[in-house]
Structure 1
Amino acid sequence: MTKQVVFSEEANPPLPIYSQAIISGKTIYVSGSIGIDREFKLVPGGVQAQTRAALDNMTKILKGAGVDRSAVLKCNVFLTNLKQDFAPMNEVYQEYFPKDPPARTCIGVAALPLGADMEIECIAELP
C-alpha cells in the first residue's frame, strides 16, 4: 500500500497530529472540517455559517488532491444539536451538492473541537 499526503495552502492548516487528506490508490480520505477561519476561530453566524466555512475548506482540500466536489462518494456530518441544526445545515449542504449528492451519514455528538456546531468529512475518488 502506498499513501500520499494531501496539503492545500488554500485550506485551513491542519494541526500537526493529522493530515488534511490522504490518498490511497484512487481514494481520497478528507479529514473533518469545522467552521473555522485560518486562525482557528469559529466563524460567527451559527450552524449555517459554520457549515459553509467547513464545506469551503473541504472543497479546497479536494482541489489540492486534484478533484472537485463531484468526486465525493460519501460524507459524514456530525452535529452537536441534531434536533435544532439538522434542517439549517441541510439548507447549506444542498447548495454544495445540488445534483446527485453523495451518500451521507449525519450523527449527533456531545461535543466537537473548539465548540463547533458541526463537522464534516468525506471520501472521494480520483478519476
Structure 2
Amino acid sequence: MSENKEIINSSKAPEPVGAYPHARKVGNLLFLSGVGPRERGTKKIPGVELDENGNITSYDIETQCHSVFNNIRYILEDAGSSWDKIVDVTVFLTNMKEDFKTYNRLYALYFKENQPCRTTIEINCLPTPIAIELKVIATID
C-alpha cells in the first residue's frame, strides 16, 4: 500500500530558492519547507535593507515576522489546510539576543488560539539575507 505524497506549491508565497516544494502532503500531515519573509515575484525582503553587495545593513524583525507568518498562511491555505491546524513549528533566528523578545511577542499574538509545539534555534545565517525562517507541520483533511 503506497501513501499519497503530494507536492504543493503556493501561487502567493515566495518562490523557493532551491529544488524543493513549498510543502508535501503525506497522509493527513502537511510538511512545509522553511519559509522566510521574502515576497513572491520580487527580490524585495520586507524589513531588510541591503547594501550594493547584498549585505544586510539593517533589518526590522517585526516586519519580517509578519511577512513570514503571512507566507505560511498562504501555503497552508493553498494546500487546503489552515493556521489553526499547525501542530509543530521550528523557528530559526539569526540573532536570538536581539530578536527573540519581539518575535516571541508576535508569535504569542498569531498563535493565541492555536498553540502548536515549538522549538526556537539560533543559527549563524540563512541562505538569503533574512533574520527568521519557520519550518511548519500541520494537519490536513
Could you tell me the TM-score, scaled by structure 2's length?
Answer: 0.84
> Which runs of 5 or more structure 2 residues have no equivalent in the other structure?
48-58
- Partner Cα distance (1:21, 1:81) in 2: 26
Question: Which amino acid in the other structure matches residue 42 of structure 1?
Answer: I
Partner secondary structure for residue 33 of structure 2: strand
**CA RMSD, Structure 1 to Structure 2 (Å):** 1.3
Shift of 1:61: 0.2
Partner of 1:4: 6
Identity of aligned residues (%): 30
What is the correspondence of 1:44-83 to structure 2 with a 5 Å cutoff? 44=47, 46-83=60-97
Larger Rg: 2
> Which runs of 5 or more structure 1 residues have no equivalent in the other structure?
none
Partner of 1:113: 127
Where is the helix percentage greater, Structure 1 or Structure 2?
1
Q: How many residues align?
A: 127
Runs (4 or more) in structure 1 with deviation over 4 Å come to none
Partner of 2:53: none
Shift of 1:112: 0.9
Partner of 2:46: 43
